[in-house]
Amino acid sequence: MLVRYNAARKTPEMQFIEELYRNTLDLRAKNQMNEMKVSAEGKELQGEEPDNSESPVSEEAQKATSESKGLTMMTAKELSPFFSKEFIKLWDENKLLCNGSAVGEDCGWEGDGDLLLDAQEYDPDLTYDNAKVRVLRFSEGFYEATFNIFPKDLQAGKLKPQNDRRVRFWIIEEDGKFKIDNIAYVYPNLIENAREQMKLDLEVYGKK
C-alpha cells in the first residue's frame, strides 16, 4: 500500500519535478503566445487587420493546433538529459534491440508523444497552473505527479477521466544533480513501468 506523505513538506526532489513541469509547460505556452504575436505583427505590416475575433474553434482545429506544437513536446530526445546514467544505458540497449527487424511491434519503451504528459494530444493552452500539477511523495526518492491535460473540459463541467494523468518518478542524485532513475505511467488497470518494460524486452527478444 502506498502512503502519501504531507504534501506541504516539499522535498528538493518534489521541487525538481514541479520545476520540470512548470518550465516545460509555461515555456510551451510562452512560445505559443510569441507565435501569435509575430503572426499578428506580420499582418499589420502587410496592411491587414489582425484577427481579434473569438469565434468558436472546432475540435478538429484544436487537435491540429495541439499536434503542430509537437516540436516543443518533451520527447525522448529532449527529456534524456534528465535521466540517470543507468537508465540511459538500459534505454540505449532497448533501442538497439527494438530497432532490429526480428522483434515484435510491442518492443520498445518510448512513445511518440510527450513523455512528461504521457500524451500526443493536449490542450494547446495548457500551462502549469491550469493543468493543476500536484506532486506527491510516497517514499524516499519515489514520487507521483498528477494533472489534467484538457483543463477547459473541467472548467466546462465535463468530467473526462481519460484526461487525468498520473506519472510516477524515481529520483536519485547523480553528479550533484537530480536525475530520473525510472518513470511509470499509471492507468486504471495497468502501470507501465519503463525499466520493467525495457528489461522484459531484453528477456523476450534478446535471447533470439
Digit-coded pLDDT (tens) for 73-113:
677 778 889 999 999 999 999 988 888 766 777 888 876 67
Q: Is the pTM of this model over 0.85?
A: no
Considering the domain boundaries, does residue 7 fall inside one? no
For the chain, the domain total comes to 1
pLDDT of residue 167: 97
pLDDT of residue 135: 96
Q: The domain containing residue 53 runs over which residues? A: 12-205
pLDDT of residue 29: 57
Considering the domain boundaries, does residue 5 fall inside one? no
Could you write out the DSSP letters of every residue in the chain? ------TTS--HHHHHHHHHHHHHHHHHHHHHHHHHHHHHHHHHHTTPPP--------HHHHHHHHHHGGGGS--HHHHGGGB-HHHHHHHHHHHHHHTSSSS-TT--S--SSBTTTTBS---TT--TTTTT-EEEEEETTEEEEEEES-HHHHHTT---GGGEEEEEEEEEEETTEEEEEEEEEEETTEEEEHHHHHHHHHHHHTT-
pLDDT of residue 28: 67
Considering the domain boundaries, does residue 200 fall inside one? yes
Considering the domain boundaries, does residue 28 fall inside one? yes
pLDDT of residue 1: 54
Considering the domain boundaries, does residue 2 fall inside one? no
Considering the domain boundaries, does residue 3 fall inside one? no
Considering the domain boundaries, does residue 149 fall inside one? yes
Considering the domain boundaries, does residue 50 fall inside one? yes
pLDDT of residue 44: 54
For the chain, which residues score pLDDT lower than 70? 1-8, 28-73, 101-102, 111-112, 156, 207-208
